[in-house]
Structure 1
Amino acid sequence: MSVSVAYGLPFGTTVGFRPLSSHCWASASEHRADFLWISSTFGGLRATSGPSCRRAPELTRAIPAAVAAMATAISVSGATRRRWSTRAAVAQNAAPEGWVPPSSRRPLQGGGPQSQQALQTESAPTPPPASPTSVELPCFSMCDPYASLLLHGVKTVETRNHPMLQGVTGFCLLHVGHKIMDENAAAEFLWRTGLADESNLDRITHPPVGLSARGQVLGVMELEETRQYTDAERRLESSQKKVASETVGKFATPVRRTWWLQQPLRERGQPGVWRASLPLELAPPDLRAILEQKAGAAQALVSQAKPEGGAEKRGNPEPQNDRADNCADLPKLVVFDLDGVCWSPEMYQTKGGPPYRQLAGGDVAMNSAGEEIRLFGAVRRIWALLHSQEARAHGIRVAVASSSRRNKAVPLLATLEVCPRVRMSDVIDQELFEMYYCKGEGKRPHLQSLLSKTKLPPSEVLFVDDNIDNIRSVAGLGVVAVHLPQGLSEATWAAALTSYRSKRPARP
């Protein structure tokens, strides 16, 4: 079919056509979803695509080149209704022979309201969701040769002396920094332990050809849950081989699988863990298929969460323990560590500080250096619960026992809201704010001070910390101390309450 181009379309007239069929002309009153609508306006021609009009090759054969370019742009972007302007117009006499305007057609037999509704439903099918073109993943930075050893599969565990990767599981991007650590020491260890021979040492300690530009994201890993090594585990030769080094950190994150990207992803390195967008075209085919499937499943969950009215169903991201919300059964004093329990990264790991800005969604704050500090999954809900009228009516108080950087942590507490107009600093009893460092004593001085101030029985105090040494330091005080190496989530909160209730004497 050919469509002539002219400037004679009367002002205010709208016609539509469907390039996927020979019977492709219609009037604006039909509101067909698979048509491209052409309207004459002050600015010339305006093209509006229906939700089902997406196939650029067919459009190209059916309409003038100017409109085809616009339709291609609509198809690529996945938009369902975007308007584009051009100076061309479609002549009225370009309709196929035998076309009859809808206003003069005979009505359907039995064309009552139900039939009309059925016709509208049939003529405007819901378009399938567009395939994702990128995914957002957590990202952290490492230096070579250990970054390359990780992505080559020689190094199978990443260890650190701080819990930076706690709560980071599944797919994660790896940024390879500009700096290079001592390659000679790494090569000597690999050769001595039999992890590599001289013929492949250079290959496994460097990125592949084409990915040699450092200071960019070069690979993707699949991480398992981080756990804390014991001192004995850190001294084992098997642990050292997994880390590809004699130096083994306290917190170990196993790496299940790794992939090199097909091309580098330009991304500026940051301290701690941040989030970055990965274009799927950069991923190798097998990884791309996995990520597309996961992204498609996430889109489907979002679509299922929207009822017919379009409003999203609201729910908690993690299952909650109903008994945990029973304030009558909660501890009289809940003492939180901050770094590694409430947020990540820890304050000493960040370069920036105040002023902070809480981002949309509420779980992330950005500091003066553009670094993101992320709250653990259940922090806002649990802190809001402990600040509720019911909790205060039962005499529940919230305290802090932390050795964080005061100049950074205090302004952050005053910025992060756990619910509208309630900041984390509002939840804490200001008389029970213990933030200082006591070398070799852990958190014992903090808890001793809190017990002295509150005059509570130790059995009514729940203390949570991500550092096992701090938990051990308060063992003789009688408080219920629970180790949370993964931070505060619904699951770890429920486990902490279970431990508290099992140790607490029965209340009268």
Structure 2
Amino acid sequence: MFGVASDLVILLIAIIASLPTAVPLAFTGVTGRASSISNSPPKLFVFDLDNTLWTPELYQLPPDPPPNSVRLFSDVSSIISMIMSKYPDAKIGIASRTKSGDLARKLLPTFTEFQGTKKIRTLFDYVEIRTGDKTVHFKNLANKSDIPLSDMVFFDDALSGRYGNCVPVAKMGVTVGYCPKGMNMEIFENLMTRYEGARSEATSWEYDNHGRNESP
């Protein structure tokens, strides 16, 4: 559903940046490409939590939700496994914008999805869970990891506007994958194909015309 190469249309980030945030943009799959791209694989893979790695969003839950109230999307374990096997030198991080930070930190260690044995929390090298603009998350990640923003990839379900994350983070030079219905293998592989195959001289966005959904 999320992307046949022949259907993709490229939009320059400068055009997107010039649009008022109130103008809705219709996307089903989107990636931002950094303006200065090294030939090396990503050094840091960063994921949002709510509606990206897991569902439902934490604000929808009571303060002390019953066990198994939150589940990981079905491809998350396979995606993390692929990162660890295909990119063994890469780091993995979390960038979550939430007012339910305590609950998020409490939930992360409860998942043993990776090959059914390891606690998923132990696989994340850097965790930024806080309120506020995600550009702050990424400044902190860059400082903690000493990894350039252009060597990071990021997956998030919120595109643009007041609570959007994809567009502002892409403007920092991070390669961004938009996953409006949660993380899946197709989105991950499509972004990695673009990251590894493209040597673009200008930041761009790619989106799929098929089955569009209005962005929030």
* TM-score of the pair, normalised by structure 1: 0.29
Whether 1:425 aligns to 2:136 is no
Whether 1:448 aligns to 2:139 is yes
Counterpart-to-counterpart distance in 2, 1:456 and 1:233: 33
Q: How many positions carry a matched residue from both structures?
A: 162
Identity of aligned residues (%): 29
For residues 185-213 of structure 1, what are the alpha-carbon distances to aligned partners after superposition, in whole Å with 9 as ceiling and x for unaligned?
xxxxxxxxxxxxxxxxxxxxxxxxxxxxx
Q: Aligned with 1:420: secondary structure? A: coil
Whether 1:345 aligns to 2:41 is no
The one of 157, 170, 173 aligned to 1:466: 157
Counterpart-to-counterpart distance in 2, 1:424 and 1:433: 12
Counterpart-to-counterpart distance in 2, 1:396 and 1:452: 16
Counterpart-to-counterpart distance in 1, 2:41 and 2:72: 22
Show the 5 A alignment for 1:6-405: 231-232=22-23, 330-353=41-64, 367-368=65-66, 372-388=69-85, 391-392=87-88, 395-404=89-98, 405=100
**Shift of residue 504, structure 1, vs aligned partner:** 5.5
Whether 1:483 aligns to 2:194 is no
Structure 1 stretches of 5 or more lacking a match?
1-229, 235-249, 251-328, 354-366
**Shift of residue 480, structure 1, vs aligned partner:** 0.7
Counterpart-to-counterpart distance in 1, 2:155 and 2:129: 15
One-letter amino acid of the counterpart of residue 382, structure 1: I
Looking at both structures, which has the greater relative contact order when contacts are Cα pairs under 8 Å and sequence separation is at least 6? Answer: 2
CA contact (8 A) 1:459 1:503 kept: no
Q: Aligned with 1:496: secondary structure? A: helix
**Shift of residue 386, structure 1, vs aligned partner:** 3.0
**Shift of residue 406, structure 1, vs aligned partner:** 1.8
**Shift of residue 460, structure 1, vs aligned partner:** 1.6
Taking a change above 3 Å as real, the CA distance of residues 503 and 451 of structure 1, as seen in their structure-2 partners, is: farther
For residues 108-127 of structure 1, what are the alpha-carbon distances to aligned partners after superposition, in whole Å with 9 as ceiling and x for unaligned?
xxxxxxxxxxxxxxxxxxxx
**Shift of residue 487, structure 1, vs aligned partner:** 1.1
CA RMSD of aligned residues (A): 2.7
Counterpart-to-counterpart distance in 2, 1:483 and 1:443: 14
CA contact (8 A) 2:153 2:176 kept: yes
**Shift of residue 408, structure 1, vs aligned partner:** 1.3
CA contact (8 A) 1:482 1:499 kept: no
Taking a change above 3 Å as real, the CA distance of residues 403 and 480 of structure 1, as seen in their structure-2 partners, is: same
One-letter amino acid of the counterpart of residue 473, structure 1: P
Counterpart-to-counterpart distance in 1, 2:144 and 2:197: 25
Which stretches of structure 1, 4 residues or more, deviate above 6 A after TM superposition? none
Structure 2 stretches of 5 or more lacking a match?
1-20, 27-39, 201-216
Counterpart-to-counterpart distance in 1, 2:192 and 2:83: 13
Q: Aligned with 2:165: secondary structure? A: helix
Structure 1 or 2, whichever has the larger Rg, is 1
